[in-house]
Structure 1
């Protein structure tokens, strides 16, 4: 059987770097094993799911470099879930419950007050056919719960029943079904929660491995029981740790925090985002990977921390900074085209300024400095004004090239006796208006003789 994984986001917002972590763990795992990657939209929430969000998620994944082998939408597969639900009902494993949300909340509070776990007591199983009919005449519509296999002959006397599996990330895991409430699979309005559609799809699509956040560990015990009830083979599971903000808050699609769309708009490189999404919380250093193939070589699910990892924006800036410094001109040419750089100078310009860019779009600022008009009116000291006049007189003849800066400053040093900061800083301030920036040896030929003369005050 072909190894098959899936990424199943709800299209109720744009995905964030925490969602990308899950997508990449699955994608890289499948690529390494020669498997398939399914993108499956959990869009059964009719009110909040939109095609626009689904398209946005596809765009975000493509930006990173993730191309699914197949795309499914659960909203197009509802008949399969209805058929599965009917099978469970026929087996007596899916039963109707009529409590309202307020009534359930009061039950939980009463149990808590007695020091008991807030586990649903299966009161709905005691209802007679007539009592259920009366509740429905009152206007109540049932939600449907799956009867967990955590008892012998009496469902009202749960017994310890453990579901165990060897987790790809966390090693041996077990969940005691007696400690859990029967899960709701169908809401009172007839819509499905994610559990049953996910299980049906995993079985029907031949999903062999499910890699997801560790907030699903307990759910996995329940889902394995439902797989078995439907006669389906449960996949292998892996549960990775979650990303939080520096304050320890969870990431949310609804808030838009650290969404891939926002990070892309801010100018981050996709491999900086991908590198951090995968490597944070994993043993070894966090370094920018050149591409997804290189990142795949670093993937080690057994080396993922079992405690939450904090997303540090400064770390992302560092990775982006390092990646941008390595980008060849060909990789950024389309993004520099709008700058209108002089023909033939596009590549030398980029190679000169990239070491001073955290983002590629910062090259626009350096283009203005190199090719534009600098604000005048700098208040030079008399000593520096004399020095700049000397600098103007020492300018090399002819067009500037890669040796011009060294020739110029050597001659100027010999004539004025200045060296170090006293020699170079006035020149940098005059030529760029800044006290920092790219190496002037590379910038001088781009600034050219005419602008250099003007900026020196000639």
Structure 2
């Protein structure tokens, strides 16, 4: 069975890049009738927070990316929080030590920094030079007796090449001589991300890992760990990292937008899913990206682009606008009532057919429910006209009120014909007739067609508003 995973560090809120990673893993699992696992990688004890893990799960659930196994619902391969898996890590680190696959390293940060500086000066890729790799048992014992606390490094083959078969990039060759021995256990005894992720993927039977291409080299190191332990390795697919409008890498530390912030602004989950799905993936134009089932059916790693996608909120706003319109006017009314229950009776007193048409018109220029409600507040409360400088009692007002009172059918088309016929008959310019009429009805300078506003308000409310000034 296909098993994918999303394994965030709980050091901040879920951001755009992480959400896309979760989405692609979720889509790949669902497309192949597999399972999607949420694992919390909190080996960074200084920065990890339990509340961030909770919020990550909440935001994924809000997006509809529900996991089959996670720290809260459990599963067959738990625990799913790395800080609770220390006994596993100790056990397998011991095996690596017994096999001689890892060795203690006593190099100081100053020594390593100097090595790095000299390598860069010579235009060489920075790597550990293996200073402690061949220490004798006696030398190791002497250093430990002096109180030196080593980290442990994985002994990478000294020569040869490793070919990573990436599901997106194809075969990528790595020269062992340029990799360097890497740390799997820090001097405080905590295992590193490279080791814990490699071990957990194997023990949790993860079959596919889809993540950002900044982790390509990490895949090589993690496979080396798994091979040394005789454990299976997943398939890897690395997607191009998302960049900002100025082509900088997005990340939690550089202020990438958090999903929770979009939630609080009123964005809809399906809008974010549609937008995220277009960051690197190029679906067929016939796919309705607001329909998650259609996205699942269409998703494939073969259509992942090789270039970095740009995070552009204007594109997100496009999908938000589409999602808001797709929810429909009745949903908007229900949301209005959740926000302000006092308008319930006023809504029920209106002609719902025309009210729906009016809200469809208004929502086309809005992004969120609150914006629609703000733009349509005049529907539920008479506008305050105290500061309007324009004459709101033109000499023609009593006559048009009487004409409207006698209008038999209170329909937008009939009202439009009636108003225009009367305006032309009186030889009034459009602005001198319709502008004060709109102000009397809504208090707004512009908006939907006036006949539609009248139809939604109803005859009695329309006449009341025209008569009050």
TM-score normalised according to structure 2 size? 0.87
Taking structure 1 as reference, are residues 10 and 312 closer, same or farther at Cα in structure 2, changes over 3 Å only? same
State the shift of 1:358 in Å: 1.5
Q: In structure 2, the residue corresponding to 1:124 is in which secondary structure?
A: coil
Partners of 1:396 and 1:407 within 8 A in 2 = no
State the shift of 1:289 in Å: 2.1
Partners of 1:211 and 1:238 within 8 A in 2 = yes
State the shift of 1:33 in Å: 0.6
State the shift of 1:219 in Å: 1.2
2:320 matched to 1:312?
Answer: no
Partners of 1:199 and 1:223 within 8 A in 2 = yes
State the shift of 1:401 in Å: 4.7
Distance in 2 of aligned mates of 1:347 and 1:199: 58
Match of 1:88 among 96, 101, 105: 96
TM-score normalised according to structure 1 size? 0.89
Distance in 2 of aligned mates of 1:173 and 1:418: 75
Q: How does 1:40-439 map to 2 (within 5 A)?
A: 40-71=39-70, 72-149=80-157, 151=158, 159-165=159-165, 167-254=166-253, 257-283=256-282, 289-329=289-329, 331-332=331-332, 334-337=334-337, 338-339=339-340, 340-341=343-344, 342-344=346-348, 345=350, 348=353, 349-353=355-359, 354-376=363-385, 377-380=387-390, 385-397=394-406, 400-403=410-413, 405-418=415-428, 424-439=434-449
Distance in 1 of aligned mates of 2:221 and 2:419: 74
State the shift of 1:346 in Å: 9.2
Distance in 2 of aligned mates of 1:388 and 1:170: 72
Partners of 1:325 and 1:357 within 8 A in 2 = no
Question: Higher mean Cα deviation, 345-354 or 74-83?
Answer: 345-354
Q: Deviations over 1:237-276 (max 9, x none)?
A: 1111111221222222245531110000001111111111
Partners of 1:3 and 1:30 within 8 A in 2 = yes
Distance in 1 of aligned mates of 2:464 and 2:42: 63
Distance in 1 of aligned mates of 2:321 and 2:351: 20
Q: In structure 1, the residue corresponding to 2:446 is in which secondary structure?
A: coil
Q: In structure 2, the residue corresponding to 1:95 is in which secondary structure?
A: strand
Distance in 2 of aligned mates of 1:388 and 1:101: 85
Q: Which runs of 5+ in 1 are unaligned?
A: 152-158
Q: Deviations over 1:408-441 (max 9, x none)?
A: 4244334324576665444333322223323434
Q: In structure 1, the residue corresponding to 2:401 is in which secondary structure?
A: helix
State the shift of 1:88 in Å: 0.8
Partners of 1:12 and 1:48 within 8 A in 2 = yes
Q: Which runs of 5+ in 2 are unaligned?
A: 71-79
Partners of 1:163 and 1:177 within 8 A in 2 = no
Partners of 2:152 and 2:185 within 8 A in 1 = yes
Taking structure 1 as reference, are residues 313 and 389 closer, same or farther at Cα in structure 2, changes over 3 Å only? farther
Partners of 1:399 and 1:448 within 8 A in 2 = no
State the shift of 1:281 in Å: 3.1
Partners of 2:273 and 2:290 within 8 A in 1 = no
Partners of 1:16 and 1:256 within 8 A in 2 = no
* Counterpart position of 1:154: none
Taking structure 1 as reference, are residues 358 and 350 closer, same or farther at Cα in structure 2, changes over 3 Å only? farther
RMSD of aligned residue pairs (Cα, Å): 2.6
Distance in 1 of aligned mates of 2:351 and 2:186: 60
State the shift of 1:450 in Å: 4.8
